[in-house]
Chains A and B, each alone.
Chain A
Amino acid sequence: MRHSTRITVGPVRFRIGSDWRAPIAALETLYADYPGDPVRPADATVRLFAARPWRRWLRPSVHIGGDFIVPDALPLPLSMGLLAAEMGMNLQVALGWRRHLLLHASAAARDGRSVLMSGISGSGKSTLAALLGESGWRLMGDEFTMIDPGSGDALAFPRAVSLKNEAIGEMAARVDAARLGPLLSGTPKGDIQHLIPRPEAVAAMHEPARPALLLFPRFGDAAAIERIGEGEAFVRLTEASTNYTALGEAGFGALTRLVRTVPAFGISYPDSAAGLALVEELWAEAVS
């Protein structure tokens, strides 16, 4: 790879290589304050490469590769190289990580305890986590949260927050413009802009936080809270985990402990303010 960089996000040390300078430069801006750790070996390798040698110059399109590949992933135009890098990082973690139970969930921490929010794309888990991260909480991650099978603790994976569509304007109104990456318009997921987590969240990314509350948010409906039983939470989280099966009994043990010890709720909310209020209300009950 002609261009490369190293970025550590939570427990994962990435090495990212690219045929082009631009995606690496964009990553180095977004992740300027993250540790690089050039000495220890990388846990995951992401490669952004040209489809054919001449495609590096002529209508360049980015293929995503690395330790794991998805054969039918569409190449992206070079203008979306940053998105390709993010997708590559997600892919390597989702398919390759074995040390912890990986949940497709956002998370935020306060006073050493954490709230985990699991939901499909569009549930608002990412926006809620980003908003909590600007409201006195430590953002632990907007996409993945890891559970340590030994301790049961949640570990942060605070990559740059991937803001989508309406969430972009909502967050842009609250944060310094210097914390926003370039606007990527017309991606397969609509408009995307990255938000650099607050420096405190990056500095504390190796601090585990014991889970205290598990939420399954759903954006769009009237505000409502529904208690979720242990069994249903277990099923939902096995579906939200990319490596539950690969972890075998360690994953089983981590997940049964999590759903037994942490209260779980489904929440519906019509807007971010209502969503945040529900999180605060349930949090107050959970930690009292």
Chain B
Amino acid sequence: MADPTFRAAPAEALRVEPLGEVTAIFDRRSTQTHLVVSPLPEILAAMGGEACNASLLAMRLAARFDLPDGAETRAVLSERLRELAALGLVEPA
């Protein structure tokens, strides 16, 4: 399956404020407010400034969280990356 690569919005473009179970993200470029829940904030943090695909993300997140290894995790992460792209918080690298 294709595993496209994305790059997160530059750190200075986003203001990320955890509010209990949700995280509010203000995008300074669009002035839009996004309310997201786990694992989207964790994915953004794990991407840092580098281009990332679902496989690389799965490795990084597995180092911090108890994730099952395998195709299913990568498929879920791939889906979440597409959602983040739809919000404009990541873009194809």
Contacts and interface: CB of A to CB of B under 8 A. Distances in A.
Contact of B28 (A230, A235, A249, A256): A249
Contacts, number: 35
A238 B33 contact: yes
A231 B17 contact: no
Contact of B15 (A231, A252, A260): A252
A252 B19 contact: no
**Which of the four size classes fits the interface of chain A?**
10 to 19
A238 B32 CA distance: 12
Nearest to B32: A245
Contacts of B20: 229-231
B21 interface: yes
Contact of A231 (B19, B26, B28, B31): B19
A248 interface: yes
Given A252-B15, A256-B17, A260-B19, A234 B28 contact: no
Contacts of A253: 15
Interface residues of B, number: 12
Given A252-B24, A252-B26, A245 B19 contact: no
Nearest to A238: B33
Interface string A205-247: 0000000000000000000000001110011001000000100
Interface in B15-54: 15, 17, 19-22, 24, 26, 28, 31, 33, 35
Contact of B22 (A231, A238, A248, A249): A231
A234 B21 CA distance: 12
Interface of B: 15, 17, 19-22, 24, 26, 28, 31, 33, 35
